[in-house]
Amino acid sequence: MKLSKRSSLVDVAVATGDALRRAGIRAVLTGGACANLYSGGAYQSSDADFVLAGRHSTSDVDRALSTLGFAREGDRYVHRLISFFVEFPTGPLGIGRDLRIRPVWRSRRAAKTLSLSATDACRDRLAAFYFWNDRQSLAAAVAIAVCHHVAFAKIRTWSQSEGHAEGYIVFLGELRRSRAARRPLKKRPRTSPKG
C-alpha cells in the first residue's frame, strides 16, 4: 500500500502494520488509530500506536518503516507527505491490568495488520475514560460498540475488576442514548384537519 497526502489514518495504520509484518516484526495496533478503525472514523487521532511483541531492534523498525517513506525523529516516525505519525509505546500489550490480549488481523486493500479486537479497542478507550476521565475516549468506546459487535459480558467483568463498575454503567447509558439518536423517528399518521 502506497501512502500519499490523501491517505487516511486507517491507511497509515494498516500500511505500517503490513510493512512491519513483512519485515518479520510482530506489532499490534492500539490506541486512537485502532479506535478510528473500529468507529468508522468517528474518533480522530494524529498518530498510530503499535506495541511490539518480542525483541526487535530500532534499526529493524527503521528499515521496515523506511519502505513506506517514514523516518525516525526522536521517539516517533514521521512522513514528509502526511500529517499522521507512528509511535511505539512501551509494552507489554495490555488494557488496564489485563495482559491476556488476543490481537486479530485487519485488512485493507492488499495490506493487513494485527490490531486489538473491537471488544479490546472498546475496553482500551474505556480505560482512558475510567483512569483519566477522558470523555472523548468514552465517546469513542460508544462509537465502536455502535459500529461493531462487542462482548459486553467481557467488558463488564473487566470494568468491575478494574474497580470501575460505575463507569461501565455510564458507558451503557451513553450507548443507549447514541443508539436511540440513530433510530429513525416513527412517522405519525396524517390526520385531516377538523372543521
Q: Which of 91, 65, 89 is nearest to 78 (CA)?
A: 65
User: Residue 194: is its pLDDT beyond 80?
Assistant: no
Tens-place pLDDT, residues 22-60: 999 999 999 999 999 999 888 999 999 999 998 889 999
**pLDDT reported for residue 192:** 47
Contacts by residues 170-178 (CB-CB < 8 Å, ≥ 24 positions apart): 170/129, 170/138, 171/126, 171/129, 171/138, 171/141, 171/142, 174/138, 174/139, 174/142, 175/142, 175/145, 175/146, 178/142, 178/143, 178/146
pTM (two decimals)? 0.90
C-alpha–C-alpha distance, residues 23 and 176, integer Å: 43
**pLDDT reported for residue 55:** 86
Task: State the chain's mean pLDDT as an integer.
Answer: 93
User: Residue 8: is its pLDDT beyond 50?
Assistant: yes
**pLDDT reported for residue 190:** 52
User: Residue 187: is its pLDDT beyond 80?
Assistant: no
**pLDDT reported for residue 168:** 98
